[in-house]
Chain A
Amino acid sequence: DAGITQSPRYKITETGRQVTLMCHQTWSHSYMFWYRQDLGHGLRLIYYSAAADITDKGEVPDGYVVSRSKTENFPLTLESATRSQTSVYFCASSEGGAVDYEQYFGPGTRLTVT
């Protein structure tokens, strides 16, 4: 199916465990993004990638790791999950560039850290 998908949609994990959230897009968009959404904070950028093998930090990168070996995939790893990382995580992609970008968002992953 064309578009942007995230997996899993729901995840419960324990404090200290490593968790990887997957994101896949079929448009060959250059840019991909990871956001977290929490009540009272709206959407906050964690990391983004301008192309394969090019990533950069966003507003709240601590505790997260990303990689992008292929254009279509952008996994987000929580190396040692903490309760403060309980959130809804959204992946997005865009054609990117310095002007006129529109981000296409995935359906989100609801992560609970117990």
Chain B
Amino acid sequence: LAKTTQPISMDSYEGQEVNITCSHNNIATNDYITWYQQFPSQGPRFIIQGYKTKVTNEVASLFIPADRKSSTLSLPRVSLSDTAVYYCLVGYLPYGGATNKLIFGTGTLLAVQP
């Protein structure tokens, strides 16, 4: 099982770019990397997913090096509303039921200040 490691917390200011890195040294060939955002008293919300290289959507970018042993979530020009916990998830689920392959990191608390 791939174990993930993230920084416990990060601080930033409004308008800055924030990069949060997740380490997953034991990632398997079939594993995908997904990032979620969670606000207090809410369930996590999907941000972005990738397998290798770079993925970009309207809210974030995900950078995955060739060895796939880490990944970096990049949030451009953060605002106060981006203050949340960000989770890295590594794994996949084959059809028909199989051994658990989903491992969440312990999350990174991003605090954005004015």
Chain A residues in the interface with B (C-beta under 8 A): 31, 33, 35, 40-45, 48-50, 54-59, 90, 92, 96-108
B114 at the interface (CB under 8 A from A): no
> Chain B residues near A45 (CB, 8 Å)?
100, 102, 104
Taken together as a complex, chains A and B put the C-alpha atoms of A19 and B102 apart, in Å, by 25
Are A44 and B97 interface neighbours, CB within 8 A? Answer: no
User: If the complex has contacts A98-B92, A102-B46, are A58 and B102 also in contact, measured as CB distance less than 8 A?
Assistant: yes
Question: In the bound complex, do residue A105 and residue B97 qualify as a contact, i.e. CB atoms below 8 Å apart?
Answer: no
Point out the residue from A49, A99, A103 that lies within 8 Å of B92, measured CB to CB: A99
Q: Does B81 contact A (CB under 8 A)?
A: no
Q: Which of A42, A105, A108 has a CB less than 8 Å from the CB of B106?
A: A42
Are A44 and B104 interface neighbours, CB within 8 A?
yes
Chain B nearest Cβ from A8, distance in angstroms: 15
Q: Is the CB of B97 within 8 A of A50?
A: yes
Residue contact A90 to B95, C-beta cutoff 8 Å: no
Interface range on chain B (Cβ under 8 Å from partner): 20 to 34
Assuming A41-B106, A42-B87, is B43 touching A55 (CB within 8 A)? no
B:81-114 near A, CB below 8 Å: 87, 92-100, 102-107
Q: Tell me if B105 and A48 are in contact (CB < 8 A).
A: no
Top 7 nearest A-B pairs (CB, nearest first) are A105-B43, A56-B97, A42-B106, A43-B104, A102-B46, A58-B100, A42-B104
Given the interface contacts A59-B100, A99-B32, A102-B49, does A92 sit within 8 Å of B43 by beta carbon?
Answer: yes
Cα distance A98–B45 in the bound complex, in angstroms: 20
On chain A, the residues within 8 Å of B92 by CB distance are 98-99, 101
Q: Is the CB of B43 within 8 A of A90?
A: yes
